[in-house]
Amino acid sequence: MKRKKNVCECPVWLLLALNSFLYISSALYSPFLSTYYTQNGISSTQIGILMAIGPVASVLVQPLWARASDASGRAKTFAALVMAGTAVSLMSYYLGHSFVSFLFSSTLLALFSTSVSPMTDAIVIRNANRYNYNFAFIRMGGTVGYAVIVLIAGIYLRQNPSAQFFLSAVSYLVLMGLMFLLPKSENHLPVSDAPRTHRKKGAGLFRLQDIFEDRKIVYVLAFAFVFQIGASFCSAFLGVYAVEIGYGQSQIGLLNCISASSEIPVLLCIKKLTRKFGAIPLIGASTFLMGIRLFCVSGGSLPFFMLAQAMQGITYMVVHFGCATYIGSTVKSGKSFEGQSVLYIIQAGLASIIGNVLGGRLVDFAGNCLSYRLTGSFVLLAAACVIFVLLWQEHKERRTSL
C-alpha cells in the first residue's frame, strides 16, 4: 500500500505540465526578441551584445544557482525562485526602448532565466527515471505547447509586440505554481560531498570527473558546443534576416511553429533510434546537419526559411534529447543540477556567446546571406573534426583491448 502511494507522488501529468509551460513561457518572447530589438532601431552588433548577455550569465551566474541548489538539496525551492525572478525581470522591458534600457533588462533577465531550463530538465528527468515515465512523451508536451503558442503569439504580437513580456511573465508564474505541486522529496534530495573532498584548489567551478561517471561525456560536450554555435547564430539572426527582406512577427511565429512541429516525429521514435545507434552517433550526425541547415537559411526567402526550420527536429531535438538524457544517465549521485549545468555552460554559455557576439559582427560586416554560409561551413568542418577524433579514439581503444 505504501509503494502504491509513492508511485502517485509525482503523476505524469504534472511533469508534462512542467515541461509544457517551460517551453510555452519561452515561446511567448524568445523567438520575437531580436525582431523587437530591430523594430526599435537596435543594430545587429548591438543585438548580438544583448543576446550574448544570457550566455555570459550561463557561464558566470547559472553555475552558482546549480551549486547552491545541489548543496542544499532543495530543488523545488530554488527552481521556483528563479522562475519568479524571471517573471519580474521580463516586466522590466517596459522601462524603455533604448539600447541602455534593453541592456539593463537583458542583464536582469539573464540572472534568473538561464537557470530555469537546466533546473526544470534535471527535475523532470530525475522524476521520469524514478517513476519509469517516458521522457520523450513528457518532452512532447513542450514541443506541442511551443508550436501552438508561438503561432498564436506571432499573430497577436504583430499588433501588440510589447505584450510578449507580460504574457511570458504570467506563464512563468504558472510554471512556478506547478513547481510547488511536486512531491516534498524534491526539497530533501541527497547532497554530495564531492565538492568538499575531491575538488582541487583553483580547479574552477566544475571538474568533469567530479560530476560524471563516463569519460565519453567530453565528446557529447564537444558536439554540443559546435552545434550551439550554429544554432544560436541561426535563432538570434533569423528574425533580423526576416525583417530585412520584409517579413514580420506573424511570419516569425509561423517559422517557429514549423520548427517546433518538426520535433514531434523525432520524439516519437527517438528512444528506438537511441537504442539502435547510440546517443553519441546521433548527436554527431545532428551537429553535422546543423551546418546544412544554416546553408538552407542563406537561400534568403520564406521557402528556404521554412525548409531550414523543418530541420529543427533532426538537429536541435536530437541534440537536446540526446545530451540531456545522456547526462542524466551518467551523472553522479547528488550532482544532477550541476550535470545539466555543465551542458548549459557549454551550450547556452560559451557557444552562444560566440554565435551571438561574433555573429552580430559578422552580419554587420558581411550581410546575412554570406554570414549564414560562413557559419554553416564552420559547423560542418568542426563537426567533422570531432567525429574523426571520436572514431580514431574508439579505434585505438579496440586495438588496445585486443
Residue 197 has pLDDT above 70, yes or no: no
- State which amino acid sits at residue 63: P
The pLDDT value recorded for residue 198 is 45
In the chain, the domains with their CATH numbers are: 10-183+209-401 (1.20.1250.20)
Where is pLDDT greater, at 39 or 307?
A: 307
Q: Residue 193: pLDDT band by 50, 70, 90 thresholds?
A: low
Q: Is the pLDDT of residue 240 over 50?
A: yes
- Please name which of 109, 82, 83, 76 lies closest in space to residue 94, comparing C-alpha atoms: 109
What pLDDT was estimated at residue 204?
43
315-351: per-residue pLDDT in tens? Answer: 998 998 888 888 878 878 777 677 777 887 787 778 8
Q: What is the mean pLDDT of the chain?
A: 86
Interval 15-33: pLDDT, tens:
999 999 999 999 999 988 9
Q: Transcribe 281-349 into DSSP letters.
A: HHHHHHHHHHHHHHHHHTT-SHHHHHHHHHTHIIIIIHHHHHHHHHHHHHBPTT-HHHHHHHHHIIIII
Mean pLDDT of the 120-136 span? 87
> Distance between CA atoms of 401 and 24, rounded to whole angstroms?
49
Grid coordinates standing for 390?
571520436
Measured CA to CA, the distance from residue 257 to residue 167 in angstroms comes to 18
Joined grid coordinates for residue 363: 552580419
Q: Which residues contact 244 (CB under 8 A, 6 or more apart)?
A: 368
Q: What are phi and psi of 283, to 5 degrees?
A: -65, -40
Tens-digit pLDDT profile for residues 207-229: 777 788 878 888 999 999 999 99
Q: Are the C-beta atoms of residues 194 and 314 closer than 8 Å to each other?
A: no
Q: What count of other Cβ atoms lies within 10 Å of the Cβ of residue 107?
A: 16
